[in-house]
Structure 1
Amino acid sequence: MFMMFAMTSDSVGEIIKEVKVAFDVTNALASLMHSLPMLGIALSGLFLGFLADKLGRKTTIIIGLALFGIACYSFLIANDFVFIVSLMSLSGVAVGIFKTGALALIGDISSSTRQHTATMNGAEAFFGVGAIIGPLIVAWLIHRGVPWQYLYVIAGGICTLLIAVAAFVRYPKYVATHQHTVEKVSLKKSLALVKNPYAFGFSIGAFLYVAAESAIYVWMPSYLVCDAQSIQETYACYSEGAARQLAIYSVTAFFVLRALGRFVGIWMMARFNWALVLLLFSGAIVLCFGLGLAGGKHVALYLFPLTGIFMSVIYPTFNSKGISCFEKHQHGSVAGVILFFTAAGAAAGPLIMGLVSDAMGGDAKYGFMVATGFASLLFLGLLYNYIANPTRQRLAEIEARDYGVAG
C-alpha cells in the first residue's frame, strides 16, 4: 500500500510537466495537482482517522483502497484538467483513510514499541521504493507514447490485488484495556488528541521534517541548474560527465538513498537509542544543507542528495513513537492527527520556500535557507527530546500494559 501510494504521489512533478502542455494551464493551477491531494490526505487523516478505531483496521483499509481504486480507474476517462485534479484530490482522501488503518495495524502486529519502530521503517522503506519507480514508469510511458494516466491504471491494478488480500487475510485481534473507551471512539475524541502533548509534539516534528524534506524533491533541481541560455546548457557548468549525470538524476539519487536508509533503519532502530539516532541524523541534515548553501551548486550537488540517508529513519520513527505513546484502541486516531500535520508540511513547506525565493529575486537558494531553518528547528526539538526524554515513562507504561513487556 505504501509503495502504491508513493508511485502516484511522487510522480506528480513528471505529470505536471505533461499536463501544463496538454491543457495550457499556469504554474499556479498546475501546483494544485500537488497541494489538493496533500490537503485531501491532511483532512482525511484528521477527520476520518478515527474510523480505524471505530470500524476496525480491515474495514477501514478496504474502504480506503476501494476509493483509491475508483479514482485510479477513472483516470481512463479523465480528459479535463478539473476532472484530473478532482480525481487526484479523491485519491488523497482515500490515502488518508487506508494509511491510518495500516498505521494502526502495525501496532496490532508489533510485540513491543521497539519492534513497532522497526516495522514502521520497513513500511516506509516500500514508500521509498515507490517514490523511485513511479517517476520512472511515467517517463517510460511517455517515451513509448502511452498516456501518463496509465500510471494510475497500473496503481489501480495493484490496488485491486491489495483489496483481495485485505479481504481474505486474517487480522490480529487485541483486547482493549478499557472497553468502554473503545465504544466511545468518535470524531470529537479524535480531534481532542491534537491537544495531547505527545500527539502534538510528534506532529510538529513530522511537519518540520516533511517541510525540510520537500525542499529536496521540489526545489533541488531548480537550485542545481546552471545559468544557461538554452535547455541543452541546463547542467553545462558541471564539467565532469559523472557530475553532470548526478545533477540530472539528483532527485532519483536522493530517493534511492532514502529507501536504502529505511531498510537499514529496520536493523538500526531495533538495536540503538532512537532519540540519539534522530538527533545525530537531524544534525547531519542541517550540516549538509548549510555546507551545500555555503559551497554553492558544486558542493550541494553531492550533499543535498546525501541527506536521503539521514532523512530515511526520521519520519517513520516520529510516526511510530507518536502512535506508540497511546493505547492500541487510539492508534488510528493519533495516526490521523500525525498524518494531518505531515500533509500540511508537504503542502506548506514548498509554498513558503517558493514565496521567499520569489521575494528575493527568484533564486532557489533562498528557499533552501528556509528549509535549513526548518531543519534547524527540528534539530533543536530532537536535542530537547534526547536530553529531557519526555516519552520514556509513557512508552514504558505502554510497553507493560499493551505489549506485556517490562519497562
Structure 2
Amino acid sequence: MTDAPTILTNASRARIILAMMACYFLFAVLLNSVGTVILQSINSFAVSKTQAASLEGFKDLSIAIMSFLVASMIPRFGYKLALLIALAAVMLICLVTPQIGQFYAFKILFAVVGCAFAVVKISVYALVGQLSDSPSSHSALLNTIEGIFMVGVLSGYWIFSFFITPDSNSLDWLSVYYILALLSLVCVLTISLAPIAKQALPSGSSITSEFAEMLKLSFQPLVLVFIISAFLYVLIEQGVGTWLPTFNNEILHLPVDVSVQLTSIFAASLAVGRLLAGQILKHLHWYILLNICLVAMGGLILLTLPLTQGVSQQTVSSIFDAPLAAYLMPMIGLLMAPIYPVLNSVILSSLEKHQHASMTGMIVIFSALGGTTGSILTGYIFQHFSGQHAFYSALLPLCLLIVSVFLFKQRSTPAHPIAA
C-alpha cells in the first residue's frame, strides 16, 4: 500500500466511517435474513427445501455477476454515486416486496440486494484503503467494519423474529421490509453527508485496461490461493448460517421464532470473535491463530452433532428452554470469525490502493460463489439425508481450508506485519 493516503480531518474521516458502518449494518440484516426467509418460505409458501435454497443463489450469483461487471468501473464513476444508486434500489425493492407477497418476489429481492451489495462492498473496501496509511491500520478498520456487519446480522435475527407469528400461514412478517426501507433511507442520508471524494486514477487508464488488470490479478499465485481460501471459508459459513434456523426447527424441534432467535448466537459469536481477534493478533501471528480456529471448528462440530441425535419434542416457549446443542452449534462463529477479515486484509495490504476495487471485486465474486455452493449443497444434503449429515459435510471443506491457508501463508510475505 504505497499510495499516499487522502488527507482528511478527523471529523470528515469519522463521517465517512459512520456512513460505511450504516451501509454495512443494513446489508448485514438483508443478506443474512436469507436463512430466516428460507424457513418462512417453507412454512408460508409451501416450497421445498431445494426451492427455498435457490434464494441463496439469487443473492450470491447476483453479487458475483455484478462484481465481475462493475468492480473495475466503480472508481471511475465515484464511490459516493455508486453507493447512493445501490441504496436507492434496495429501498425501492423493500417497499415493493410486501405488496407482492409471493415467493418469486423474494427471488427479485435477493437479486437486487445482491447487486447492490456488490457495489457497496467494493466501494467500502476501497474506501478503507483510502482511509488507512499502514497494514495495521487497514486491518484494524476493516475488522471494525466487518464487526459492525456482524452486529447487523445479530440484530437482523431479532428484528425478523419480532414480526414472526405462530401462524405459519400469516404474511404479517413481510412488514419487516418497511422498516428496512426506512433504514435504507437513513443510509442514503449518511452517504449524502459524508465527504467521499472520487479516487485519483493512474494516468492513461481506461475501463478496458482496468477490467483487464482485474482479470490479471486472478492469475497471480498468491491471489489464486487466496481465492480458493475465501471460497472455502464462505462455503462453510453460509452453509451453517443459512440452514441453522431450519436445523433448530426441524432437528431440535424448536418453534420458528425461537429457532431464529437462537441463530443470533451465531452472529453474536462472529461479532465477538472478530473484536477479540483484533486484540489477539497484536500478540499472535495470524497464521497460528487461524490454524487454532480451524482445528477447534472441526472439534466443535464433532462434539455437538452427536448431541442432536434423537432429541425428543418438548414444549419450548423461549430460548432458555432450548437444549444444550442449540447453544453449542452457533458458537462455531466465535472460531471462524477471524478467518475471513484476516485473509482479506493480508491480500489487500499487499496491493496498491488503486488495485483495491478490482481485488475486492475478486473477493466478492468468489465469496458469493462459495456462499451459493455452501447453501445449496447443505440444503440438498439436509433434504435427502438429514440435518446432521448436512452439518457433518462441513468437515470436508474445513480440511481443504487448512491446506489452502498453509499455501496462502507460504505465498505471502513471511514477515508480513498484519494485525486485525
Q: State how 1:330-341 maps to structure 2 within 5 Å.
A: 330-341=355-366
| Pairwise CA RMSD | 3.2
Q: State how 1:26-65 maps to structure 2 within 5 Å.
A: 26-65=48-87
Task: Tell me which residue corresponds to 1:179.
Answer: 203
Task: Tell me which residue corresponds to 1:323.
Answer: 348
Asked if structure 1 preserves the Cα contact closer than 8 Å seen for 2:378 and 2:391, the reply is yes
CA distance in 2, matches of 1:358, 1:27: 6
CA distance in 1, matches of 2:289, 2:386: 33
Q: CA deviation at 1:248?
A: 8.1
Please give the per-residue CA displacement for 1:248-271, whole angstroms capped at 9, x wherever unaligned: 854222221111112223333455
Asked if structure 1 preserves the Cα contact closer than 8 Å seen for 2:71 and 2:119, the reply is yes
User: TM-score with structure 2 length normalisation?
Assistant: 0.79
Q: State how 1:206-355 maps to structure 2 within 5 Å.
A: 206-220=230-244, 234=253, 250-293=262-305, 297=309, 301=326, 303-355=328-380
Please give the per-residue CA displacement for 1:120-147, whole angstroms capped at 9, x wherever unaligned: 1111111111112212112212349873
Q: Pick from 381, 384, 388: which aligns with 1:365?
A: 388
Matched, 1:70 2:92: yes
- Stretches of structure 2 lacking an aligned partner (at least 5 in a row): 1-22, 310-322
CA distance in 2, matches of 1:61, 1:76: 24
Task: Tell me which residue corresponds to 2:20.
Answer: none
Q: CA deviation at 1:197?
A: 2.4
Asked if structure 2 preserves the Cα contact closer than 8 Å seen for 1:212 and 1:375, the reply is yes
Q: Which moved more, 1:195-204 or 1:19-28?
A: 19-28
CA distance in 2, matches of 1:302, 1:83: 33
Asked if structure 1 preserves the Cα contact closer than 8 Å seen for 2:101 and 2:171, the reply is no
Task: Tell me which residue corresponds to 1:230.
Answer: none
Please give the per-residue CA displacement for 1:275-303, whole angstroms capped at 9, x wherever unaligned: 22222212221222233356765885554
CA distance in 2, matches of 1:276, 1:106: 25
SS in structure 2 of the partner of residue 195 of structure 1:
coil
Fraction of identical pairs, as percent: 25
Q: CA deviation at 1:36?
A: 0.6
Instruction: Report the number of matched residues.
Output: 379
User: TM-score with structure 1 length normalisation?
Assistant: 0.81
Highest RCO, 1 vs 2 (Cα 8 Å, sep ≥ 6): 2
SS in structure 2 of the partner of residue 170 of structure 1:
coil
Asked if structure 1 preserves the Cα contact closer than 8 Å seen for 2:234 and 2:367, the reply is yes
Asked if structure 1 preserves the Cα contact closer than 8 Å seen for 2:154 and 2:264, the reply is yes
Asked if structure 2 preserves the Cα contact closer than 8 Å seen for 1:71 and 1:88, the reply is no
Q: Which moved more, 1:270-279 or 1:133-142?
A: 270-279
Task: Tell me which residue corresponds to 2:11.
Answer: none
Asked if structure 2 preserves the Cα contact closer than 8 Å seen for 1:246 and 1:301, the reply is no
CA distance in 2, matches of 1:278, 1:5: 26
CA distance in 2, matches of 1:142, 1:249: 11
| Structure-2 change in CA distance of 1:55 and 1:196 (3 Å) | farther
| Structure-2 change in CA distance of 1:26 and 1:146 (3 Å) | closer
CA distance in 1, matches of 2:164, 2:200: 51
Task: Tell me which residue corresponds to 2:123.
Answer: 101
CA distance in 2, matches of 1:24, 1:222: 14
The one-letter amino acid of 1:234's match is H
- Stretches of structure 1 lacking an aligned partner (at least 5 in a row): 228-232, 237-244, 400-407
